[in-house]
A and B are shown apart, each in its own frame.
Chain A
Amino acid sequence: MQNQATMQPPALAAPANGKPAGVAAAVTTTLDPKLIAPFVSSIRAVFSTMVGVETTVQRPYLKNDETHSFAVSSIIGFSGQVVGSVTLSFQEETAKKLVAKFAGAELGIHDPDFADAVGELANMVAGAAKKDLGGTASITVPSVVIGSGHNIARLRDVPCVVVPCTSPLGDFTVEVSIKRV
């Protein structure tokens, strides 16, 4: 991403639901893009260093609906001067491939070690970003949800930004829903 290369906060794309740009512009006035850039960096660092997979981060966009079409999600909560949550979400096959690479073993999605691995990926993405968010914050231990058809409930007054990611092992998303208090 050009913005990432110049270390500027990433520009947000218009929402994928086709709403006019004017709507996206109104919403972005309440969202600080500087909260997103640290996650763009941490995603690339974590997947490259710990999983050995180069990840390309696509243009983030505001999420305007609550649908969630993934089979595996790992959620980290934030508290303190930054509140909200960050969710890594994958389709089943992508999750299995990334976990196999990370953990060094093929694991079924119902194996407890599978959830552990997914949780640790989210922990590192959130943790590595935290230091660049400004202010002091704490992160929770991860929660992992497995099974398609799940939705993620978030703080109602906090915008959710979807950071789409592509890798040789499949696509996934990181949903960042945090604000400074």
Chain B
Amino acid sequence: MKILLVDDSKTMRNIQKKTLERLGTVEFVEAGDGLEALTAIAAHPGIDLMLVDWNMPNMDGHTLVCRVREKDKTTPIIMCTTEAEKTRVIDALKAGVNNYIVKPFTPDAMSDKVQQTLAKAKGAVAAAA
């Protein structure tokens, strides 16, 4: 499985990696902001999941999600952010995220959200086939 981690904090990306490694063999691609993420997406085809922070320099996560969804309607995206207001969650869902996790999070909460998101995406693909 290939997961793109988009967060301007390397510490946070390392924590996410440690948590997600429990899902099995995972290849991680990392980006420090939305612009780097767009470059990474072009350079690394076949991404199975994106974990995206909101507040980042150069291009924030919401803008990144909008840009990704212009061409890619299917890759699951989870917003992983401190932004917890209902309006923010709604904005993110409207932009096209599949799930939302608020920082601070426990490893179990992160792992559960990822598995839930991947299972739903797999079900959607099966239903479409």
Where the two chains meet, the residues of A that have a C-beta atom closer than 8 Å to any C-beta of B are 45-46, 49-50, 102-104, 113, 116-117, 119-120, 123-124, 126-128, 130-131, 136, 138-141
Q: Is B81 among interface residues, defined by CB-CB distance under 8 A?
A: yes
**Shortest Cβ distance from A133 into chain B, in angstroms?**
10
Evaluate contact between A103 and B11: CB separation under 8 angstroms.
yes
What B residues does A141 contact at CB under 8 A?
8, 55-57
Tally chain B residues at the interface, Cβ within 8 Å: 22
* Sampled A-B contacts (30; CB under 8 Å): A45-B104, A46-B104, A49-B104, A49-B106, A50-B15, A50-B103, A102-B11, A103-B11, A103-B15, A116-B10, A117-B11, A120-B9, A123-B9, A123-B103, A124-B104, A126-B82, A127-B83, A128-B82, A128-B102, A130-B82, A130-B83, A131-B83, A131-B84, A136-B87, A139-B55, A139-B82, A141-B8, A141-B55, A141-B56, A141-B57
Q: Is B18 among interface residues, defined by CB-CB distance under 8 A?
A: yes
The CA-CA distance from A124 to B87 in the complex, in Å, is 18
What A residues does B57 contact at CB under 8 A?
141
The CA-CA distance from A117 to B15 in the complex, in Å, is 11
**Shortest Cβ distance from B71 into chain A, in angstroms?**
27
Evaluate contact between B55 and A113: CB separation under 8 angstroms.
no
What A residues does B56 contact at CB under 8 A?
141
Task: Specify which of A103, A113, A117, A127 is in contact with B103 (CB 8 Å cutoff).
Answer: A127
Evaluate contact between B81 and A127: CB separation under 8 angstroms.
yes
Chain A interface, DSSP helix/strand/loop, else mixed = helix
Evaluate contact between A127 and B9: CB separation under 8 angstroms.
no
Known: A50-B103, A127-B82. 6 other contacts (CB 8 A): A104-B15, A113-B11, A116-B9, A124-B82, A124-B104, A141-B57
Task: Specify which of A103, A123, A127, A130 is in contact with B14 (CB 8 Å cutoff).
Answer: A103
What A residues does B103 contact at CB under 8 A?
50, 123-124, 127-128
Q: Is B23 among interface residues, defined by CB-CB distance under 8 A?
A: no
